[in-house]
């Protein structure tokens, strides 16, 4: 399919990338330059009849170059993986087109575009360390559950990626997983509702302490943990990957998360009951005038000195029955 040049713009990108088709756009006559948008592959390419060298892009995972034959003529091609960055990828392709309109060779224009691509990827936002650590803790529990339970049950129990108030909802109780790099079991609580038990359901806070592994061979980084879980899943693998994507995870960004971790202590569970130091809407209403005007409540709670409990199955083998004496 070929469309007029003036129909291709930043405003129409979303339409073309969601069309389910490959569209072709002639954007220059001399030299002849074509832009293709591959909706199924989520890629955008710029092509021109070959006239000189074609650069190699082995050092960039989201950029490829190559040659293809069109009407008996050899064309040079630069392709960008545009997932999650339609406008940026389109801008880089346009920079190639504009440079060639100004007289640059395809190789020179591509080289400049790839330099810009490297800068773009270097500036790509990472998942914050707090969210990385939180996801790592949830996945530690997810992996442990797979040792004893069916993958369908485990992924059904995991609610964290669904933006639910609870990280896990087991048959008999709910769990909020909190993970820290600190030497004490001090955790950040986001919102007055995060530690408010649901009616008729008990709520447990599972405290996980991890530390950077350094040279410890037992250490594992977030990409490695994700890989181990993915390899153990069959029917629910796609659902698992969708859950990760909702948390901002992209396999292409794995190199951005190289830090390996190990457990500092055995995970412990604490029942969130009337004696637990939690800020809840009910407690706010009873002590704070006009508590309905209070929002974005964030606080820290240190459970180091509290006695952990035993929630029961399915956490029997994951948490300690008594607090470890040493870190």
pLDDT, tens digit, for every residue of 236-294?
A: 999 999 899 888 888 877 877 889 999 999 999 999 999 999 999 999 999 999 988 98
Residue 87 belongs to domain spanning = 2-122
Instruction: Specify the long-range contacts of residues 72-75, CB closer than 8 Å, at least 24 apart.
Output: 73/49, 74/49, 74/50, 75/34, 75/47, 75/48, 75/49, 75/50
- Residue where a domain terminates, one of 122, 138, 162: 122
The answer to whether residue 255 sits within a structural domain is yes
Calculate ∠ Cα 241-194-291, nearest 5°.
140
Judgement on whether residues 96 and 14 belong to the same structural domain of the protein: yes
pLDDT computed for residue 82 by the predictor = 85
The answer to whether residue 136 sits within a structural domain is yes
- Residue where a domain terminates, one of 122, 147, 180: 122
Judgement on whether residues 88 and 231 belong to the same structural domain of the protein: no
The answer to whether residue 325 sits within a structural domain is no
The answer to whether residue 280 sits within a structural domain is yes
The answer to whether residue 183 sits within a structural domain is yes
Judgement on whether residues 54 and 159 belong to the same structural domain of the protein: no
Judgement on whether residues 213 and 97 belong to the same structural domain of the protein: no
- With a cut of 70, list the residues of the chain below it in pLDDT: 1-8, 10, 52-61, 117-118, 120-124, 163-164, 321-327
The answer to whether residue 209 sits within a structural domain is yes
Domain total for the chain? 2
The answer to whether residue 322 sits within a structural domain is no
CA distances from 286 to 244, 279, 292, 295 (A): 39, 11, 11, 16
Q: What predicted TM-score, i.e. pTM, was given to this entire model?
A: 0.66
């Amino acid at each position: 399919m070929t469309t007029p040049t003036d129909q291709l713009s930043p405003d129409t990108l979303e339409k073309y990338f969601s069309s389910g088709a490959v569209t072709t756009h002639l954007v220059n006559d001399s030299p002849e330059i074509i832009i293709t948008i591959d909706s199924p592959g989520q890629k955008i390419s710029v092509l021109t009849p070959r006239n000189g060298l074609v650069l190699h892009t082995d050092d960039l995972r989201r950029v490829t170059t190559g040659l293809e034959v069109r009407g008996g003529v050899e064309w040079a091609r630069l392709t960008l993986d545009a997932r999650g960055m339609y406008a940026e990828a389109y801008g880089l392709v346009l920079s190639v087109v504009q440079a060639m309109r100004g007289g640059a060779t395809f190789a020179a224009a591509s080289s400049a575009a790839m330099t810009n691509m490297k800068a773009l990827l270097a500036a790509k936002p990472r998942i914050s360390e707090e969210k990385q650590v939180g996801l790592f803790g949830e996945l530690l529990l997810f992996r442990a559950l797979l040792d004893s339970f069916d993958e369908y049950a485990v992924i059904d129990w995991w609610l964290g990626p669904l933006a639910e108030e609870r990280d896990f909802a087991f048959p008999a109780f709910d769990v909020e997983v909190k993970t820290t790099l600190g030497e004490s079991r001090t955790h950040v609580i986001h919102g007055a509702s995060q530690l408010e038990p649901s009616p008729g359901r008990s709520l447990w806070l599972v405290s996980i302490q991890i530390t950077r592994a350094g040279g410890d061979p037992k250490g594992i980084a977030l990409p490695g943990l994700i890989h181990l879980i993915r390899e153990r899943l069959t029917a629910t693998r796609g659902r698992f990957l969708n859950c990760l994507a909702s948390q901002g995870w992209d396999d292409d960004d794995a190199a951005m998360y190289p830090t390996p971790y190990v457990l500092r202590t055995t995970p412990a569970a604490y029942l969130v009951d009337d004696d637990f130091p939690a800020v809840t809407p009910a407690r706010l209403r009873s002590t704070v005038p006009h508590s309905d005007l209070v929002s974005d409540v964030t606080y820290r709670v240190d459970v180091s000195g509290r006695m952990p409990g035993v929630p029961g199955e399915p956490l029997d083998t994951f948490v300690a029955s008594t607090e470890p004496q040493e870190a």
